[in-house]
Amino acid sequence: MVVRMEKERLEGNIRIDLTGTDPTGWVERKEIEQTALELLCQVSSNRYCPDPHGLWSVRKVLAKQFGNLVPPENWFLCASTSEAYSLLFTLLCDPGDEVVLHRPSYPLLDDLARHGGLNLIDTPLRVQGGLWVLDIGQLERALARPRVRVFSLVQPGNPTGWFLSPAERSKVVALCSKHHVALISDEVFAEYTYVPGFQSLLGESRCLTITLSGLSKGFGLPGFKLGWMGLSGGLEEVSEARERLERLNDSLLSASTPVQNALAGLWEIKADLLNPLKDRLETNRSTWANFPWVGVQALPVNAGWMGILKLEHEETVCHKLFDQGILVQPGFLFDLPWDGVVVSLMGDPVVFREGLQLLQDLVVSLLRS
């Protein structure tokens, strides 16, 4: 099915794409994106000042913007959060060690862990009352395994929109501390929460915690290629991790000088960059929530960019939609625990509504056949 998805896209057979998540190039962002690009043309960027942490001035900006929960010396800059994962898996693990992931989760984590020769241990998210919850019992058993070194979570999640409840947070941190497991919290979707309760793990001191974000999702600028890591925890473990991460990142030095120098200015226009995204997401979330669904269960979208439909005959539905030129993502790509499809809420609102209607019409026709 994945092969067919790419084939249909390459051959130009897709008329409604319900998978796109690229926030760039929208008409309503044209001017502010140009302003962002102009910030790259600073005279100071002509001088290359390599630093395995990233520029000190930029780390001071990060510390200030995040309420000084992590001091400048405990921030690291890199090209992306994907690169950050690779660095951290190398920092925290040896080949053959284990990383615990919640499922569903970000599919790329599987590849990044395996590239480092690491084994993956799953702990499930389960749906209760229409909401995702973390199976703490399964997590405790997973973290007790002798070769587990990391629990890597994405909050808010993609595509689930799940994030830690206060009770889950307390238990997760306590378990990581108990079993001496590092905690990675990927918070790239933190700007896109629609219900109260999200709390960052930045600055958590009870276990070694590394919090990730970057320009791609946090500012809607994937092409600017800048991500960051904030380290916290006990003084000794943070000091050791910082020293080793300096050596690892010194071998890459991938954070762009012009993009780093632009960060302070980008923060000044952050709201203008994100407002068009948030407006579109709010419109499409409303369409999603109020759509007259028949024969499917539409899970609430509490955070993030994606919506999940629980339905029967996942592959049949996807192939029949492809036949009509409508592209959706099958649930198995995200390890959904049941048949379903995942759609992006980032599309043009008119096209998005049309796509949902065509999807609904297909489901109804299948129910009648």
How far is residue 3's CA from residue 144's CA, in Å, rounded to a whole number? 39
The pLDDT of residue 10 is 74
The pLDDT of residue 129 is 85
53 neighbors 75 (Cβ within 8 angstroms):
yes
Tell me the CA distances in angstroms from 183 to 57, 143, 158, 171, 304, one per residue in order. 27, 11, 18, 12, 21
Running along the chain, 369 residues long, what does each successive block of 10 average in pLDDT? 69 88 96 98 89 96 98 98 96 97 90 93 93 96 98 96 97 98 98 97 98 98 97 97 97 95 98 98 98 94 96 91 92 93 97 96 87
Q: Which residues contact 20 (CB under 8 A, 6 or more apart)?
A: 344, 346, 347
Which uninterrupted H or E stretch holds 313? none
List, as one string, the DSSP characters of 275-298: HHHHHHHHHHHHHHHHS---SSEE
- Whose CA is closest to 17, among 311, 325, 307? 325
Q: Which residues contact 59 (CB under 8 A, 6 or more apart)?
A: 53, 72, 73, 75, 77
Burial of 269: CB neighbours in 10 Å, binned 0-12, 13-18, 19+: middle
The pLDDT of residue 1 is 63
Rg from Cα positions in the chain:
21
**End-to-end CA distance of the chain, in Å?**
23
Three-state DSSP at 126 gives strand
Count CB-CB contacts under 10 A for residue 338. Answer: 12
Q: What is the pTM of this model?
A: 0.95
List, as one string, the DSSP characters of 112-124: HHHHTTPEEEEEE
How far is residue 23's CA from residue 216's CA, in Å, rounded to a whole number? 9
The pLDDT of residue 331 is 94
Tell me the per-residue pLDDT of 225-275, one tens digit each, with 9 for 90 and over.
999 999 999 999 999 999 999 999 999 999 999 999 999 999 999 999 999
* Opening angle at CA 81, ends 240 and 99, nearest 5: 60
The one-character DSSP state at 332 is G
How far is residue 250's CA from residue 254's CA, in Å, rounded to a whole number? 9
Count CB-CB contacts under 10 A for residue 45. Answer: 17
42 neighbors 258 (Cβ within 8 angstroms):
yes
296 neighbors 310 (Cβ within 8 angstroms):
yes
341 neighbors 317 (Cβ within 8 angstroms):
yes
Domains of the chain (ranges, CATH numbers) = 2-21+271-368 (3.90.1150.10), 40-268 (3.40.640.10)
